Each structure stands twice: as C-alpha cells, then as structure tokens.
Amino acid sequence: MVRSIAEKLQEALGQGKIFTDEFTLKDRRRDYWMLSQLDDMQGRRLPNPLCVVRPAETEDVVAVVNLCRENGSPLVPFGLGSGVCGGVKVTPQTVLLDMSAMTRTRLLDIDNLLVTFEAGVRGIDAEAIVAKNGLTIGHHPQSIELSTVGGWVATRAAGQFSTAYGCIEDMVLGLEVVLPSGDVFNTRMTPRASAGPDLKQIFLGSEGTMGVITAVTLTLRWKPEKRAMSAYYAPRMEEGLELQRFIIQSGWTPPVMRLYDASEVGRNFSDYKQGDDVLLLLIHEGPVARVDAEVAACSTLASNQGGTAAPAAVVEHWYRERNHVPSFEDLIKKGIVADTIEIAATWDRIGPIYKNVVRSLREVKGIVVASAHSSHCYRSGINLYFTFAAIPENPETMADIYKECWHRTMKETVAGGGGISHHHGIGRVRRDWLPAEIGETGMTMLKSIKKVLDPTNFMNPEVLIYG
C-alpha cells in the first residue's frame, strides 16, 4: 500500500503534530498580504495546504524536511503569518511547517548578554523573557505581538528603535538552521569572525527558501537608564530629511527618528497639525548624561535648520498608539484597497524619490491617500514608508489598482536609484523587481546558492526567486 506524505509524517513525528482539520488548514494557508486577503474576500479563495505540521524539536524539523524532499512535496515555513509580501501561500500539495510550537528559551546568558530562542517564540514573549532580567532585545517591530523570532530573521526585519539598536541583522549572533538536505547548520558563538564569508547571512532574508531556521541567538542590552522625547516641525520633507541627516551625521542616534509628511500629520496627529508642516518625532535613550546631551544637541540642530519645537506629547501619543493599525479586512469591507511600501535610499536620492512616488501614486484612479514617513535612519541614508489607499468605483478592480500602485512605487524607486525594500522582504509582491535591485549577476549568484542548497526547489518555491 502506498502511504501518503501525511501518514509518513504522522509515523515519523508521532501523535499531535500533524493537523488536517479545516480550521487549522484554513488558518495557516496564507500570510497577511493584502492581495491574498483580497482574493479570499472577493470569492477567489486560496487553497488549503495538504497538512499543517507543528514540530516540537529540531529533530522533528529534520524529519519533515527529509520526507518532503524525498516525496517532492513543497514545504512552506510559517512563523505567525504577519508577513505582508505573500511569503506564505500554498497549494493543495503543500506541507505547511508551523513553527509556533518551538517556543523554548535555550539559553539566557547575562554575562555575555546573549539569549537563544527557538524560532517559534513570539516577539512580545521574547522581549518579556529578557525584560524580567532588566534586559531588552531592542527589536520592536510594530508586529511584535504578531511575529516570531524566526520570522524576523527570515524577513530581515527592522524594529521601531532601529536607529540606535540596529535592525535584526545587527542583533543576530548565531543561528541553527535545518538545511534542505536535512543537515543541521550551527554558527559558532563568537562576537565576530573573520573566517570567510558570514554564512548565516544566507538565511537572513531567505524567506523560507534556503532552510528552516530553528533557533536564533540574539545579543542583548541593559534597559536604558533614561528615556526622553522631543519633536520638531519643519516646513517640508526636504528640511525634515536634512535635519535627520545632520542629527545622525553629528554622531547622535535617537533610537526612534520618524518624519511624517503633512498628509500623515493630518491623519495620525491631527491635534498637533501646524499648517502644512512636516513633523519629526524623536525618542532618546541611554545613560542620563548622554540623553540630556542628545536632547540639547538635537534642539540646537533643529533651530539651525529652521525647525521649531513641537509638543513632546505628540511623541507620547505615537508611543501609546504605535502598534494600532486598521486591519486590511476592515479596509476591504469598506471598499478601500491600501498598503504600505517601504524603500530606502541614500540622502541625495531620497527627496526626489519621495516626490516622484507620491506624484505618481496621486495619478492612480480612485486614489485617496498617497503619503510617506521615514522611520529608520542611517549615516548614509534613510528609509521611506509609503502609504497608499484607493476607493475604486468598481470593487472588482481593487486588485488591479493595488498592483498599479505597487508598480508605480517600485518603478519610481528604481529609477531614482533607491533600494526596493527596507524591511518587509520580497515574498511574491516584489519578486519581479528583485533583478532591478541585485542585477542579473546577483540573480545568478542567488539562484546558484539556492540550487546548491535546494536542488529540487521544494522549500517555499515561488518566493524570492523563481524561474
């Protein structure tokens, strides 16, 4: 008798780890991507996977990977499904690897400021575990309650406090990864190495295509001694961006630096709106003396740049509300198609990209919002986070309008010399634009790495690279 892959998985992993009930299959068949949600809600329902597997140990993951490879079954890792680029989408043949049962803390080493979590630990739980010891990871994505530590690594995520503490790649000291061959790859616990290329980087941003991340070692920080907030108005985005450049290039690193254009000030901070001014929010953290010095220095730099002080209460308002956003489901029900698109560019290029993307988005039929803010700042440049929303007359055109807005944003970003993604990843939504980002030679290298690691392309096929 020929046994099905689900039966083989059941035999290899034992009871309670393989799920084929409708609720679980439906719940795990996609991520948060707007286009998948639109398909679902407009009657183009996405298929369920063949089964959902919840491994409890790395050995379980090895068994699943081996069986899927031998059986030719597509295998799609799933953290908590908060990805917004279509990194999780299944076929009826897919084995969905749900990491949410791998939630142990393997190590908490206070002397070396290290923690090792299994990949399925939810972000907010990870932060709570270290916080009990007066520590912080320093990684606070808006989706901290909706995402896993493994998902952060798989997407190269960025948190809201990144300007001082870095993005996820700056915090990952080590990884355990089950390769498509079934071998387990472990990096050494050293603070830095000059031992050839850093192989763990292959998995940062790999989106489930190169292996399954089963454990992540992160570096920690002591919680800051002091936190202060300050805010400034500037006449236009150009001046606001310049002010941020001066702050960071002078050596100051407020962990939170967020610049909102006039449209977003009106939408998010209406009580604090001042004409058509843009608004810069800063949070300063660290030893008392440093925080005090940074607040004073930023104030001087702001007034030198023609900025004026805004009430610090606006930053408190942002901090309180920072993780509350309307759900895509609610927007779709109201006939609104919307998304956010994050890109990055050097200081000389970001201003023109901002103008060109917003102008181009405003030409789209039915558009009601085309705006941006910056949220991650570097010595050599900054990101922008565009928001678009459209209310098409005919709801059947929502998907087309969505694609058009994305196309316009990517086109203007590439034409302006920017990078197509700052932190959400490629998934399916940016796949066609990856060659423009890394070039044909880069694509050949990436495809070659994929071919060596996963010659039969069973690990999250169609994501990141295809063809």
Residues at the interface with ligand FAD (CB under 6 A): 31-32, 76-84, 87-88, 99, 119, 141-143, 146-148, 150-152, 154-155, 157-158, 207-208, 212-213, 325, 423-424, 460, 463
CB of 213 to ligand FAD, least distance (A): 4
CB of 142 to ligand FAD, least distance (A): 3
Q: CA-based Rg of the chain, rounded to a whole angstrom?
A: 23
Residue nearer to ligand FAD on the CB measure, 150 or 286: 150
Residue nearer to ligand FAD on the CB measure, 32 or 388: 32
CB of 125 to ligand FAD, least distance (A): 12
Residue nearer to ligand FAD on the CB measure, 242 or 376: 376
Residue nearer to ligand FAD on the CB measure, 128 or 325: 325
CB of 25 to ligand FAD, least distance (A): 15
Contact (CB, 8 A) for 105 and 116: yes
CB of 397 to ligand FAD, least distance (A): 24
CB of 231 to ligand FAD, least distance (A): 20
Residue nearer to ligand FAD on the CB measure, 233 or 260: 260
Residue nearer to ligand FAD on the CB measure, 29 or 424: 424
CB of 304 to ligand FAD, least distance (A): 31
CB of 410 to ligand FAD, least distance (A): 18
Give the per-residue SS3 of the chain: CCCCHHHHHHHHHCCCCEECCHHHHHHCCECCCHHHHHHHHCCCCCCCCCEEECCCCHHHHHHHHHHHHHHCCCEEEECCCCCCCCCCECCCCCEEEEHHHCCCEEEEECCCCEEEEECCCEHHHHHHHHHCCCEECCCCCCCCCCCEHHHHHHHCCCCCCHHHHCCHHHHEEEEEEECCCCCEEECCCCCCCCCCCCHHHHCCCCCCCCCEEEEEEEECEECCCEEEEEEEEECCHHHHHHHHHHHHHCCCCCCEEEEECHHHHHHHCHHHCCCCCEEEEEEEEECHHHHHHHHHHHHHHHHHCCCEEECCHHHHHHHHHCCCCCCHHHHHHCCCEEEEEEEEEEHHHHHHHHHHHHHHHHCCCCEEEEEEEECCEECCEEEEEEEEEECCCCHHHHHHHHHHHHHHHHHHHHHCCCECCCCCCCCCCCHHHHHHHHHHHHHHHHHHHHHHHCCCCCECCCCCCCC
Residue nearer to ligand FAD on the CB measure, 146 or 336: 146
Residue nearer to ligand FAD on the CB measure, 133 or 327: 327
Residue nearer to ligand FAD on the CB measure, 79 or 240: 79
The CA distances from residue 379 to 84, 163, 242, in Å, are: 28, 10, 12
Residue nearer to ligand FAD on the CB measure, 302 or 382: 382
CB of 122 to ligand FAD, least distance (A): 8
CB of 179 to ligand FAD, least distance (A): 11
